[in-house]
Each structure stands twice: as C-alpha cells, then as structure tokens.
Structure 1
Amino acid sequence: MKLEQVTPVGEVVARLLSPHAEVVLHDSATDRIAAIWNPLSGREVGEPSLLGELDELTETGRDAYGPYPKVLPDGRRLSSVSAVLRDDAGTAAYVLCVNVDRTAFETASRLLAAFAAPVSGQPRVLFEHDWTEKLNESIAGYVQERGVPVERLSRADRVELLGRLDAAGVLSQRRSVPTVARALQVSRSALYQLLAEARKESHADPA
C-alpha cells in the first residue's frame, strides 16, 4: 500500500470536518507521522507516532477503534477514532486517526440548553393592549385543539373561531379585519360573511 493511495482519504475527511478536526496518518512501519491535516495538536510530519501499542491492536481482529477521549495540552477535549489500514497481504500499513475538537459542539449544546430553559410570562404592561397577541394565541390554541393547520379548517371551524375572536374583542380593534383575514387565510369578503354567520349564531344561542 503506497502513501499516495491513502492520503486522499485523510484529505477529504479533513475537508469535511474542518476546522474542528485533526486528521493524522501514521506509518506503522516507521512509527512516524506520514501526513497530517489541520494539526490541532501542533504535531508535524516525520514526528514519532508513539503508536507502540500498534502490534497489540492489530492482533485483536479489529481495525476500527473509538470514539475514545483525548485531551490537548491546552485542555481542549477531543473525541477520536482510529482505523488500521492493511495492505494486500493483511499487514497493517497505516493507522488513520481523526481527532475532533469538542469545544464548538459543547458550546452549542450549552447555548441550546439555555434557549430551551423555561421563560417567564409576557409582561402584562407591554402586551395587555396588543390585540395581535390575543389573535395569534387564540388561533394557535384553536388549531391545536382541532388538530389541523389553519389552511385545513372547515367553514364551520372558521365560523366558530371567529365567534371566539369576536367575543374576545379582537374584531372590534381598528384595522383588525385584514390582519384576521390574513391569519385565517381567507379574503376580506369571505371574512365578513363568516363573521356575519358567527354573530348570527351567537345571537341565536339561548345561552
């Protein structure tokens, strides 16, 4: 197995995981680094691989190892995998190691966890007069209750929902009609028809 046959593998892996991974190709015959991409560890080609355990590893019948933890001198934690590459005779010719820096992923995990933390309720002083909030909450609650998206609401569903919005005072707000029509995905004329039907049913309700 020639070095030029193996290096494209290390190069494409490094390209895919850049800049978060170091890819190292070790020559098992010389126990030295044959190639390295994105050297997070600061190592260079020709330095000792320090793979003294290679003979032991290649006798286990396994050629893929990891993920296993490693640490850089600056304290950064890595997740690493290694693959033993054999020639046609079955002899371990090279060991390809991929060392992924976990820093960016751990930072992202903490950030996402912070965003997922419970949030406090809306301050009433800011939102008590915002009728669009009431509109959005009412529609969201109704479609969740019905189990269908807005565009699949039936005519009866829209009449019922408009009745609720009207009772909540949303339709009495200035310029509410175009906003409500857009939210329900109907035309203004259709909204007026549905609203008339909702109010007619409300007046006919003995309750």
Structure 2
Amino acid sequence: MIKTEETSANQVVENVAVPIAEALSKLLGSNVEIVVHSLITETVVHICNPFSKREIGDPSFLSEIDFRKDKNETVIGPFERVNWDGRVIRSISAVLRDDDGTAVALACFNYDISEIMAAQNAITALIGTPVTSKGSEALFKNDWHEKMNHYIVDWCRDRNKSVEALDRKDRKMLLEALLDTEALREKHAASYIARVLNVSRATIYNDLKAIRT
C-alpha cells in the first residue's frame, strides 16, 4: 500500500507539480520561490528559485495536518511569513490530490514582497494609514526553521547587523545564543544554520566545539 501511495505521489509530483512550478517560476521571476512537498515522504522534493535556504530532502513538518478532513480544501492561504534574512514573504499553498482524492503533494508559492512593502511603508508614512498583516500558524506550527529564522533576524536586528555581514566573532556569539535556546538540538539544525550563515557545516561544528570547551 505504501509503495502504491508513493507511486501515485511521484506521478502527481512529476506530471503536475513540477511542470507547473517550473513554468510559473519562469513567468514570475526570482521573487517567487516554489517548493513542492511530498505528503507521503513528508520531504521537499522540488524547488524553483530557492531563497529560503531549504534543500531537496529537507523535512516538510506537515505530519500533524490532516488533509483528509476536507477533500474540497485545495488552497491554503495566502498568509505571511518571515524569511531567514528578514524579508517578508507572502505565501499560498495548493493541495494536490491523486485520482482517488488522496492528498499526495503540496505546492507552496512564496512571494518576496519586501520591496513592495518598502514602497508601501513609504506611502503609509505620507498618508498615515496603518498597515495590518495576518499570518497562518497551522502549516508552520512545528517548523523549527521558521522559529530559527525569527530568532536569527531578531538577534541581528538587536545588534544593528545583517545576517550577511556577520563576522567570525558575531557568528560565535549567535551560536552561543542558539545553544542557550536548545535550537541546535534539532536534526539537521547545524546544516541549516551553516547554509543561512553561508559557511561550511564543518565551520559550524568547529565553532560549537570551541564554545563547549
């Protein structure tokens, strides 16, 4: 049965999700990241225009969502998220089902609206109109990537630094702070933070070893 589900999911991903993702990524440009998740393996299986530091094979953290409750549910969102570098992302997800109506894949479209928001903020400053935003917590309830993104962005903001500008001393201070939160105990956390900080995984492990000794 599992093999049948995987085969069905692979067909939906390869014949539907991937072609749509590739076509829309070329049409909409680099401001839109498209991530395809397999709901059978609960992993990322395809990415176009990656800017979230996710990679193929990363866990999806969607196991607690019961897509069987409403088989008519095909679209989730739109809602807002924050990227690892502080950019605001507007996201919407499409549930993809096989011929039996079983949800087998999820296509997530992440639109970087930071430039639009900068323009909006400039206009708001002139006309005094408050800006409100709403987000969706259901999809990312257990997503430590999202929580780590928030922590890193807040940590850098408190020190008037950007993630890209962190030097070795800053990096070690950030890792010390992350150790205090136990965030680095998550599986693959060291690999993810290495990608975010644009250093090798070995560098992260060496820094952590130095901190702990």
TM-score, with length taken from structure 1: 0.51
Structure 2 partner of 1:179: none
Report the CA distance between 1:68 and its aligned residue.
0.9
Structure number with greater Rg is 1
SS at match of 2:62: coil
Amino acid at match of 2:14: E
Query: Is residue 120 of structure 2 the alignment partner of residue 109 of structure 1?
Result: yes
State whether structure 2 residue 44 is matched by structure 1 residue 33: yes
- Give 1:20 deviation, angstroms: 0.9
Q: Does structure 2 conserve the Cα–Cα contact (< 8 Å) formed by 1:26 and 1:94?
A: yes
Q: Deviations over 1:36-63 (max 9, x none)?
A: 0111111111111111233x24413311
Partner of 1:68: 79
Larger RCO of the pair (alpha carbons < 8 Å, separation 6+): 2
The match for 1:14 is: 25
Q: Which runs of 4+ in 1 moved over 6 A?
A: 113-117
Percent identity for Structure 1 against Structure 2: 37
Uncovered stretches (5+) of structure 2, i.e. residues with no partner: 1-7, 129-213
**Candidates 35, 39, 45, aligned match of 1:24:** 35
What is the match of residue 14 of structure 2? 4
Q: Given the alignment of the two structures, is residue 44 of structure 1 paired with residue 72 of structure 2, yes or no?
A: no
Alignment partners' CA distance in 2, 1:52 and 1:4: 22
- Give the superposed CA RMSD: 2.1
Task: Tell me the number of residue pairs that the alignment of Structure 1 and Structure 2 aligns.
Answer: 116
Flag the 1:19–1:116 CA change in 2: closer, same or farther, 3 A: farther
Q: Which amino acid aligns with 2:33?
A: E
Q: How far does residue 77 in structure 1 lie from its aligned partner after superposition?
A: 1.1
Q: For residue 80 of structure 1, what is the amino acid of its counterpart?
A: S
Question: Which residue is 2:108 aligned to?
Answer: 97
Contact 1:58 1:84 in 2 (8 A): no
Alignment partners' CA distance in 2, 1:99 and 1:53 = 21
Q: Any residues of structure 2 matched to 1:162-173 within 5 Å, and which?
A: none
Equivalent residues in 2 for 1:99-178, closer than 5 Å: 99-110=110-121
Question: TM (normalized to structure 2)?
Answer: 0.49
2:97 to 66, 74, 86: 86
Distance 1:69 1:114, change over 3 A: closer
